[in-house]
Chains A and B, each alone.
Chain A
Amino acid sequence: MTHKHWQHWLLSVTLLLSSILLVMVPMNHVQASVQRVLLVYDAQNTSARGNQKIDILQRTLTALNLRVKTVAQTDYQAGMIKQGHYTGVITMVNWSAVGITNKTFIRDRDAYRGIKLHIGDGLTAKEASELGATKMVLYQQQMALKTAKTSKSLPFKQAITVLTHQSSDAVMYGRLVTPDGNVDYAYGTVNHHDAYLPFFNTSGIGLATSQQLLAHLFTKQTTNRPLLTIRKVTPYSNLTRLVSLSRYLRQQHIPFAISAVSVTDNSELAAYRTYTKALREVELNGGVVFLQTPQVGGASASDGTLLDRLMTGELVDLANQAVFPVGISSEGYWNQDAVLRKNALQKSSSWLLLANKTPTYLKQDNDAVVAQRAFAATPLKTMSAKMVSDFAVPTALTISLPTSKSQLRHVERTIVHAGFEWANLQTNGYRSTIRTGTTELVYHDGKYYLNGHQQRVTRKVASPYKTPKPVATQPLFKGFFKFQGQFLTVFFGVVLIALVVFIIIGRRIYWRRLRRK
């Protein structure tokens, strides 16, 4: 073998190995070293929005870089806490009438010496003693949640368990205050490894305070500016409004992200180019794009490969049009499903997790993993800088894309009046990677890289597509049937004309015979 041949051979092997590595190495290679948390709940209690509480708690934990395994108390098996090597166990009571009744779980939890958090009613005496406090039940109370910056009235509660005689080491988050202001109790309490929240809110100051407690409890204390995110961006949205809003935000020096849906098929059409043109405008106006996962229709657990192909196709098509997503956005439940997570979410190192609407699971395992960076989304309208300026958890504050001019003005006002210092992903060393098939998209310090090469976003891109041909429907025997169809059409046409001619001739002969008679 000559020296040149050796060079070729080595180059080929290196390329092959690097391609294999690119495909094989999972995005979340950090999973093994990530802390794990077990979340055990009593019931979903959807009528009291218990399922939403579980959802936002799961997303918060993921955003805190904690792997959360969620189990209904009925599915809890003896020894699970010990076997799972969990850093912490969270008990969530959504339905006080049910509460935690699984004695095996209670026994295992009591024996557990790691981080423990109890959310909701049903705090046991043992848990209270571990918290270094005495529990007390208040009945029929109208209270307000008070923090250093703000106060919010809470709905009337039939019963609420609060802690008294707390240890001096306890750290408290928020105060529960009676209307007359005479009596107040801690909302959230952390006493070394143990913590307690008497209830859990899905938005607003209640959520922000709970998130602060969670970050402290799991020693993940950071301060995060919120990421302004425009939701409901689809090819069918009013793209003029999207571009107008992005221009406005640029003028106001507000960095932002959009959560945009794309299509799998038909990317050769002009309408797709119109859509990607609008997305490029967003990028040029300082916005970043999170590719939103599609909606699940009649798919089943065996459609994982299809989803993988679909996501790859969408990302490649967008990249061809100089739209470079910096992460993947999806409803939170995609991280609780083995098929959806593996074939979509885990392609990216950066996630934006939206609230669940109507989850359609393919293979639910409730065994969430983490990303290098995950944002837990919450509606902007429920938050303002007056309530909380920095968040304990990476948070995306979302607002829907306006559909009319008046709505556009309203959205612009809402964003400005919220008064936040917004997160800017173009700076501060933010880095994200999306790997799909043999394509790698990297976003680092505001620059886009495609397979290692820096890309420039321009208003116009050369279309890689030619004018499409009409859809071919039946290639097999097409020629034969076409010929047969045409032949028989002509044949019948001739026969029909002949028939009419014969009828006319026959009629004449008939009349002639009659006339002779």
Chain B
Amino acid sequence: MRKGLTLKLNRISRVFSPGVFACLFAALVTIPLLFLTPIHGLADNGDFYRAMLSNGIYRLPSQHSQYLNFVVQKFGLMRYFNENNVAVFSSQSLVVKAAVVLNKLLYSRHVFDLRFLAAIYEVFFLGAVYLLTKSLVYPYRRLRSYVIAALVVFVFADGTLTLYFNSFFAEPGMLIAVMYGFAAIMAIVHRCYQHNWPMVLLFIVSTVFLITNKQQNAPLALSFIVAGAGLLFLAKSKSHRIAILMGFVLIVGAGGVTYKMINTEFSEVNQYQALTHGVLLETGDPSQKIAKQHLNEAYALMRSENYYPKTFTAVKPSDSYIKQHLLKKYGTGWLIRYYAAHPKQFGQLLDLAAKDVMQTRVTAVGNYARGSGKPAGAQSYFFTGYSTLMTNYFPHKYAFDCLLALAFIGIYSVSAWLDLKAKRPGGIIRFFLITGLMTICVFVPIISIIGDGDADLAKHLFMVPVCYNLTFLCFISDVLNKRLWLTGDEKEEEDDT
């Protein structure tokens, strides 16, 4: 019976490789959710204009509110001169522009259907799922490879992630780019392709896209340099090494440019909220504490205030007096010194961040379109098992996150050491990749707290659950394929392409 099952599986595997299986499974899960009307997605929280206006998309007039509660499917396309400046420098613009072109070719020159944007993301997403699955299971086509493929879909086609596709948020680009970047390096580790350079190029391109996708990604350039550092062990000649180093320079440059392009208003928002949603939180009475750091104690009264007040406020932070007497009095250096003097408070804030670390659901906005029969702000729970599981059961302690990162780095350092001695690059590349991802998981909460306090934490931490998920999948696939400690003992089997 077992023999019969193996035979059947062999026959199936000739037609459907694990990669193709994952791809079809992901398509099956996501296409009805995103493309069949009434569509599912994420409603506008007020940020959509950044991606819309500069790309010639505007809101069609409506008697209903177009914010927060319901997903809006149709937008207008500007016909004449677009006077709007680019609100935010972002590679997301490329995707939106491509969607507009596709929309004009296939649908309308005046009305934009949001599904064209989702379609662009979907195509790249399915490609990422395929490459990721292949890079994790190659060269095996056993039952366990299909289990891994199913896990990839279970984790990455989770509704809370794919709902982003039907929105003007930048997160889908980040998700897909990091999947490609990770898969490219793992494809090199598991020698999926004869030539490595296309994968090296894919890693660099996807990383640059990711870094320039959103301003908060600028510091991640350093983590991705760590993640890709193992590629230097791959270089057989000096010219190869220089080419890879040039790629790294490009990544760092992208980070620098993205950082420089952050406009003054965004900097002020972040700086203000770093105080009101960071320094002033998780402490008894911050009045004396900030006074000791030479900041007027009165500003303690701004605790939990937003830069853009939701309803009413005593004094708006954009007031020239506040700019002059508060925002000019402190910066990142002051914040670091403050937290260095109050490590306990910082630890509590990090634990606060750790509570949101696996949270990928955007609860502030609705997932359904108006007319779907769902109430305002209703959330979709279709295929969200993984995110629900992780949100509820992943420990809410920052110390745990650090230990987990240390554990993964420790585990992968064994194979790195063995491969270093055996002069095989695979284990070393994998070790640097995991280390890079773990630095994101450890440092992003720190950067978020220092940079913007606990404001918009779930969105700032978006990369953390994605990096954890990639690492978990890598670990599970390595355990199942018995190559956690050694990378060079695979028996060459037929390619699953």
Contacts and interface: CB of A to CB of B under 8 A. Distances in A.
Contacts of A295: 309, 312-316
B310 to A, nearest CB: 5
B328 to A, nearest CB: 13
A492 B309 contact: no
A297 B296 contact: no
B313 A269 contact: no
B309 A481 contact: no
B311 A270 contact: no
Interface in A444-471: 467-471
Contacts, number: 141
Given A468-B285, A470-B284, A235 B298 contact: yes
Interface string B286-312: 111000000011111111101011111
Contacts of B459: none
Contacts of B312: 264, 294-297, 299, 303, 306-307, 310
Contacts of A482: 396
A269 B314 contact: no
B240 to A, nearest CB: 33
B364 to A, nearest CB: 13
Nearest to B286: A269
B297 A236 contact: no
A264 B314 CA distance: 8
A265 B276 CA distance: 13
A489 B315 contact: no
A159 interface: no
Given A261-B314, A492-B400, A468 B287 contact: no
A493 B403 contact: yes
Given A269-B285, A467-B284, A274 B315 contact: no
A232 B315 CA distance: 10
Given A271-B297, A500-B410, A470 B283 contact: yes
A17 interface: no
Given A265-B303, A485-B400, A489-B397, A496 B315 contact: no
A234 B319 CA distance: 12
A484 interface: yes
A485 B397 contact: yes
A275 B286 CA distance: 15
Contacts of B406: 496
B196 to A, nearest CB: 31
Contact of B400 (A265, A298, A303, A488): A488
A294 B313 contact: yes
Interface string A285-308: 000000000111111000100110
A471 B311 CA distance: 21
Contacts of A74: none
Contact of A236 (B288, B315, B348): B315
Contacts of B326: 236
A401 B444 CA distance: 43
Contacts of A296: 311-312
Nearest to A292: B314
A235 B403 contact: no
A495 B299 CA distance: 45
A474 interface: yes
A272 interface: yes
Nearest to A300: B311
Contacts of B348: 470
Contacts of A235: 298, 301, 314
Nearest to B354: A485
B174 interface: no
A461 to B, nearest CB: 17
Q: Name the interface size band of chain B.
A: 35 or more
Interface in A49-65: none
A486 interface: yes
B396 A485 contact: yes
B395 interface: yes
B303 A232 contact: no
B407 A297 contact: no
B404 interface: yes
A468 B297 CA distance: 16
Classify chain A: how many residues form its interface, as a range.
35 or more
Contacts of B282: 470-471
A502 B404 CA distance: 18
B205 interface: no
A496 to B, nearest CB: 6
A265 B304 contact: yes
Interface string B321-353: 110011000000000000000000000100010
B363 to A, nearest CB: 14
A383 interface: no
Nearest to A273: B287
Given A270-B287, A271-B287, A294-B313, A486 B298 contact: no
Contact of B308 (A266, A298, A310, A467): A298
Q: Which residue, A299, A310, A469, A492, has most C-beta atoms of chain B within 10 A?
A: A492
Contacts of A485: 354, 395-397, 400
A416 B325 CA distance: 29
A499 interface: yes
B309 A275 contact: no
A239 B304 CA distance: 23
A338 B410 CA distance: 65
Contacts of A219: none
B301 A299 contact: no
B355 to A, nearest CB: 7
Contact of B395 (A266, A272, A484): A484
B485 to A, nearest CB: 11
Interface in A34-79: none
Contacts of B355: 473-474, 481
Of B300, B301, B310, most buried by chain A (CB within 10 Å of CB) is B301
A80 interface: no
Contact of A492 (B287, B306, B322, B403): B403
Contact of B309 (A234, A237, A298): A298
Interface in B384-406: 393, 395-397, 399-400, 403-404, 406
A303 B311 contact: yes
A236 B287 CA distance: 12
B293 to A, nearest CB: 14
A269 B403 contact: no
A136 interface: no
A235 B322 CA distance: 11
A266 B286 CA distance: 10
Contacts of B283: 470
Contacts of B315: 234, 236, 261, 295
Nearest to A306: B311
A268 B285 CA distance: 8
A189 B115 CA distance: 67
A160 interface: no
A246 interface: no
B414 to A, nearest CB: 7
A271 B299 CA distance: 8
A470 B288 CA distance: 15
Interface in A219-270: 232, 234-237, 239, 261-266, 268-270
A138 B392 CA distance: 80
Nearest to B280: A266
B311 A499 contact: no
Contacts of B297: 270-271, 274
B281 interface: yes
13 contacts: A234-B315, A234-B321, A236-B321, A269-B301, A271-B300, A275-B298, A295-B309, A297-B313, A299-B312, A307-B311, A484-B395, A488-B400, A492-B407
Interface of A: 232, 234-237, 239, 261-266, 268-272, 274-275, 294-299, 303, 306-307, 310, 403, 467-471, 473-474, 481-482, 484-486, 488-489, 492-493, 495-496, 499-500, 503
Given A297-B311, A492-B400, A496-B403, 9 more contacts: A265-B304, A266-B302, A297-B316, A307-B311, A469-B284, A470-B282, A485-B397, A489-B397, A496-B406
Which 5 residue pairs across A and B have the least CB separation, nearest first?
Answer: A297-B309, A485-B397, A270-B287, A294-B312, A299-B311
